[in-house]
């Protein structure tokens, strides 16, 4: 990808084509600003000139990439709010980076459509022993072989210390130094594209972390009008908010332009408060899409939201914000509650099997219905929004890590139920997301961890975690977030993938993902589907059909016993068994009958805690040629 940038980052330290660096910082709260070059070693202080509306700038000759600098304001040295690299951490100097120095090898890569995504969420710090961008690269071929089409990175903006989920980042433009910094991230993205994997980056626009956060000394980046659970909200609609909006919009364009990122996952947008005529989320999506078009690529904007608001992913011509997709927590909560029978906290709203059927059919379970947990009506109907705009999961960093003991589903339910959950996820009509290690039943917890410098902040985090879990009545002592052991316990152990039970689950994930690549009816947004269920009998059926393709019938038994099921077959189709989670090679008993089903009514037995998938029409060989992830890619020819 050698085409010139149609947009370039003007704030921060910009290397000029003819040499030198132009420094630009918005600091309306400062009387004067200087750039402090090479602090601690032959330092130089260069005043910046006030341009207008609090913008200070100056072109400085003799400054090269790799030079460290602070901005000096109010007599204090502070990192650049638009720092591209914090090599010495959040309190250290910023470093000049030339965005054009890196040699990319991904010419022809143009991104992926939402419907082609099979996402794999990972935390860079715990995904490998080394905890670096570089170390992730060696695992990309295995992810591609599994059938994954995109990796999703938890936030990598510079955070305090070396142990953090990333949601306490304070330098939104600087890739985490302990992970390998900006060039480490570039090498990972370049390598991922070489494996035909897209890269989605989790970004936090609703707040900044408390440790190393100096933004408020520069300007009114935050507002007293609203507050997030994690601190002051960003000022998107108050006085002087234009530059704050620019700050986050430029950040989105920065990641897709200078790092070739294929998609942005916007964290907790329900805590982004904006009553402007044009919401900041709509503006981010529009600017990302415009910039992506100028780069000849497809870039996605995906929201995480607690609102169940379909406007996020509804197109702008229909009154929506025009984002490409949003997470659906309801799917997770429904499946989790049905399998674990937990009813504490928000799981109180998802008891029984009816929520599973509704999540499969209607996007949201709570689409205007009253929530007992919230004690009010919640959400709005979303069936008019295409299914490929909804991302579902049975695990993710939040739903595992925000448990008191960080238990994964493999530590909560028996093996057969793990397989049933996998089938629900990968045979659903939505875009699936897999959390690292899920594919082979990782049992190590994924815990919440930090490495803050301020003892008072550490104490507050510990107290806050205990308070957060009160409504769930979970048992056990909450692991200390600050303890290094908590971090190390959260690493996956891949050797488990070869052990009994784990290797069979991995085989099931592989085959289910293969089906998503081979069966057109499983492509989100391309199929029509119908859900039938009998909650008292403990089963749900999902029929999917697509134009000029074989129909699929998936049936899920949540009961402890065999279920005898009869379903109407008005077209008198013949149905062939395509997959059963009860098959011996998936560690099952092999009870499911392989005989074709036919007649006006089809009758079959469903083994306990299992899923069966049938395919209409002529029988297909189990060795049929499939589309590989590479064939699904978007490389120019």
Q: Which residues are catalytic?
A: 267, 304
Residues 6+ apart with CB under 8 A from 517: 147, 626, 627, 628, 629, 632
Q: 314 is written with which tokens? A: 């509804």
Contact 148, 177 (CB under 8 A): no
Query: What is the spatial distance between Cα 324 and Cα 149, in angstroms, rounded to a whole number?
Result: 17
Integer Cα distance of 549 and 365 in angstroms: 29
Three-state SS for 543?
strand
Phi/psi-derived region of residue 379, left when phi > 0, alpha when psi is between -120 and 50, beta in every other case? left
Residue 592 three-state SS: coil
543 forms beta bridges with 530, 553
Plot region of 375 (φ>0 → left; ψ -120 to 50 → alpha; else → beta):
left
Q: Are 160 and 108 in contact (CB under 8 A)?
A: no
Q: Is-contact 248 254, C-beta < 8 A?
A: no
Tell me which residue has tokens 């959260």. 490
The pairing of strands 198-203 and 150-153 is parallel
CB 49 within 8 A of CB 36: no
How far apart, in whole angstroms, are the C-alpha atoms of residue 48 and residue 32? 8
CA distance 174 to 382: 36
What is the rounded CA–CA span in Å between residue 338 and residue 304?
Answer: 23
In the chain, what is the straight-line distance between the N-terminal and C-terminal CA atoms, in Å? Answer: 14
Find all residues with CB under 8 Å of 176, minimum gap 6, and list them. 124, 156, 157, 158, 159, 166
Contact 355, 330 (CB under 8 A): yes
Q: At 455, which helix (H) or strand (E)? A: helix 455-468
Phi and psi of 461, rounded to 5°?
-65, -45
251 half-sphere exposure, CB direction, 13 A CA radius? 27
Q: Are 313 and 390 in contact (CB under 8 A)?
A: yes
Q: Comparing C-alpha atoms, which of 216, 211, 106, 198 is closest to residue 162?
A: 211
Q: What is the edge-to-edge ordering of all strands in the sheet holding 552-557?
A: 528-534, 539-545, 552-557, 610-616, 575-580
- Report residue 149 as tokens: 């089409």
Instruction: Tell me which residue has tokens 């992810």.
Output: 143
């Amino acid at each position: 990808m050698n085409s010139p940038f149609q947009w370039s980052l003007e704030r921060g330290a910009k290397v000029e084509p003819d040499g030198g660096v132009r420094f630009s910082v918005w600091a309306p709260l400062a009387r004067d600003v200087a750039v402090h070059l090479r602090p601690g070693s032959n330092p130089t202080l260069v005043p910046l000139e006030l341009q207008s509306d609090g913008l200070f700038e100056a072109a400085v000759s003799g400054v090269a990439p790799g030079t460290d600098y602070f901005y000096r304001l109010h007599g204090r040295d502070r990192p650049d709010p638009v720092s591209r690299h914090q090599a010495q951490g959040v309190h250290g100097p910023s470093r000049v980076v030339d965005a054009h120095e890196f040699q990319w090898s991904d010419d022809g890569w143009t991104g992926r459509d939402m419907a082609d995504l099979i996402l794999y969420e990972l935390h860079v710090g715990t995904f490998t022993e080394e905890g670096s961008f570089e170390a992730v690269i060696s695992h990309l071929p295995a992810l591609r072989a599994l059938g994954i089409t995109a990796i999703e990175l938890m936030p990598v903006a510079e955070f305090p210390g070396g142990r953090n989920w990333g949601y306490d980042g304070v330098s939104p433009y600087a890739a985490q130094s302990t992970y390998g910094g900006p060039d480490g991230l570039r090498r990972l993205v370049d390598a991922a594209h070489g494996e035909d994997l897209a890269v989605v980056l989790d970004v936090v626009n609703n707040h900044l972390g408390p440790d190393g956060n100096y933004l408020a000394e520069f300007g009114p980046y935050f507002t007293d009008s609203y507050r997030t659970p994690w601190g002051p909200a960003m000022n998107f609609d108050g006085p002087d908010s234009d530059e704050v909006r620019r700050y986050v919009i430029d950040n989105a364009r920065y990641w897709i332009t200078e790092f070739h990122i294929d998609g942005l996952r916007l964290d907790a947008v329900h805590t982004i408060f904006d009553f402007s005529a044009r919401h900041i989320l709509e503006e981010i999506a529009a600017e990302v899409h415009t910039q992506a078009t100028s780069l000849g690529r497809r870039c996605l904007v995906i929201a995480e939201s607690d609102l169940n608001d379909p406007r996020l992913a509804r197109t702008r011509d229909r009154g929506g914000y025009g984002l490409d997709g949003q997470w659906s927590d309801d799917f997770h909560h429904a499946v989790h509650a049905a399998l674990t029978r937990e009813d504490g906290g928000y799981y109180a709203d998802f008891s029984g099997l009816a929520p599973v059927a509704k999540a499969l059919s209607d996007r949201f379970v709570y689409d205007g219905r009253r929530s007992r947990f919230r004690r009010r009506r919640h959400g709005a109907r979303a069936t008019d929004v295409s299914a490929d705009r909804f991302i579902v999961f049975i695990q993710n960093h939040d739903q595992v890590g925000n448990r008191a003991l960080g238990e994964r589903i493999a530590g909560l339910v028996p093996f057969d139920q793990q397989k049933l959950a996998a089938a629900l996820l990968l045979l659903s009509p939505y875009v699936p997301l897999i959390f690292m290690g899920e594919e082979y039943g990782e049992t190590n917890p994924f815990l919440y961890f930090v490495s803050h410098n301020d003892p008072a902040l550490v104490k507050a985090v510990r107290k806050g975690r205990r308070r957060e879990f009160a409504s769930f009545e979970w048992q056990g002592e909450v692991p200390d977030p600050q303890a290094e052991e908590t971090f190390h316990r959260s690493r996956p152990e891949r050797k488990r993938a070869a052990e009994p039970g784990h290797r069979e689950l991995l085989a099931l994930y592989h085959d289910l993902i293969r089906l998503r690549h081979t069966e057109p009816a499983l492509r989100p947004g391309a199929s029509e589907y119908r859900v039938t269920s009998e909650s008292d009998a403990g089963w749900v059926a999902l029929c999917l059909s697509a134009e000029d393709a074989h129909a699929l019938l998936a049936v899920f038994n949540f009961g402890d016993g065999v279920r005898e099921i009869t379903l109407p077959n008005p077209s008198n189709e013949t149905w062939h068994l395509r997959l059963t989670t009860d098959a011996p090679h998936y560690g099952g008993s092999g009870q499911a009958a392989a005989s074709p089903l036919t007649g006006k009514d089809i009758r079959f037995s469903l083994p306990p805690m299992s899923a069966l998938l049938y395919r209409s029409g002529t029988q297909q060989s189990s060795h049929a040629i499939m589309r590989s992830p590479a064939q699904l890619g978007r490389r120019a020819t």
